[in-house]
Amino acid sequence: MNTVGPMLYEGKAKKIFAAARPDQIVQYFKDDATAFNAQKRGTIVGKGIVNNKVSARLFRLLEEQGVPTHFLERLGDREMLAKKVTIVPVEVVIRNVVAGSLAKRLGLRVGDAIRPAIVELYYKNDALGDPLVNDDHLRLLNVATPGVLRELRDLAHRVNNVLQPFLAERKIRLVDCKLEFGVYHNKLILADEISPDTCRLWDMVTGDPLDKDRFRQDLGKVEESYQEVMRRVCD
């Protein structure tokens, strides 16, 4: 492993290690997969390699387009050097197409376009099952001020506006995407990962999901779909 210091944290899909510099960390991407708040568990062989490579490519693209991210360098197959941020405990979901929990909650038809894209905020708290919250809830929880919430929404739209055309050129429809942000030197930057684990990615020709829904819903061809996303995004 191309890690340097001790492990600081282990999540469901990644481990975080200390880096040589105190203001940096190393993300190590695992093959472990969970769904439905870890009630379903499994392994997607090679997923860590795919998610590291895809995230690195997309973070680099976003940086080129002026969106600040924590990405510094890909150190190896499964290791990424990143800035050490204080994560804002909010999962910012941006949606271009009806799917998943939105379809269920509001009774909307899966596959219908959403224009303009909508943003949803979830309170990142495993014990509570990451509940959907509004701005007032996040203020009540002292998680984010109105100014920070405005910035999170604005950044989510900017990320979406960069990723959507880039993926469309590769015949991938960006259905939705979960983003996490962190504070680094008093500035909000994009953190975590952008991968088939955290986005819904549909083949533009067949409409087939190429993302973690294949694991969540037991659709088969899980590994193959992750490899296909890597091929289209990174080649």
- Enumerate binding residues for ligand TMP (CB under 6 A): 93, 99-102, 130, 176-178, 198-200
- Cβ neighbours for 30, distance < 8 A, ≥ 6 positions apart: 13, 14, 15, 47, 48, 78
CB-wise, 93 or 149, nearer to ligand TMP? 93
CA distances from 99 to 112, 164, 205 (A): 8, 16, 18
- Answer yes or no whether residue 125 interacts with ligand ASP by CB under 6 A: no
- With CB atoms as reference, the residue minimizing the distance to ligand TMP is 100
- Answer yes or no whether residue 216 interacts with ligand ASP by CB under 6 A: yes
Chain centroid to CA 163: 12
- Residue 65 and residue 53: Cα distance in Å, rounded? 19
101 binds, among ligand TMP, ligand ASP, none (CB under 5 to 8 A by kind): ligand TMP
CB-wise, 124 or 232, nearer to ligand TMP? 124
- Residue 46 and residue 227: Cα distance in Å, rounded? 8
Backbone angles phi, psi at 10, to 5 degrees: -125, 120
- With CB atoms as reference, the residue minimizing the distance to ligand ASP is 34
Burial of 204 (0-12, 13-18, 19+ CB in 10 A): middle
Which residue in 7, 8, 38, 113 binds ligand ASP (CB under 6 A)?
38
Burial of 109 (0-12, 13-18, 19+ CB in 10 A): exposed
Q: How far is the CB of 48 from ligand ASP (least distance, A)?
A: 14
Q: How far is the CB of 43 from ligand TMP (least distance, A)?
A: 18
CB-wise, 158 or 216, nearer to ligand TMP? 216
CB-wise, 124 or 158, nearer to ligand TMP? 124
34 binds, among ligand ASP, ligand TMP, none (CB under 5 to 8 A by kind): ligand ASP
- Answer yes or no whether residue 219 interacts with ligand ASP by CB under 6 A: no
Beta carbons within 10 angstroms of residue 148's beta carbon? 18
Judge contact between 80 and 74, C-beta under 8 A. Answer: yes
38 binds, among ligand ASP, ligand TMP, none (CB under 5 to 8 A by kind): ligand ASP
Interacting residue ranges for ligand ASP, rule: CB under 6 A: 12, 34-35, 37-38, 212, 216
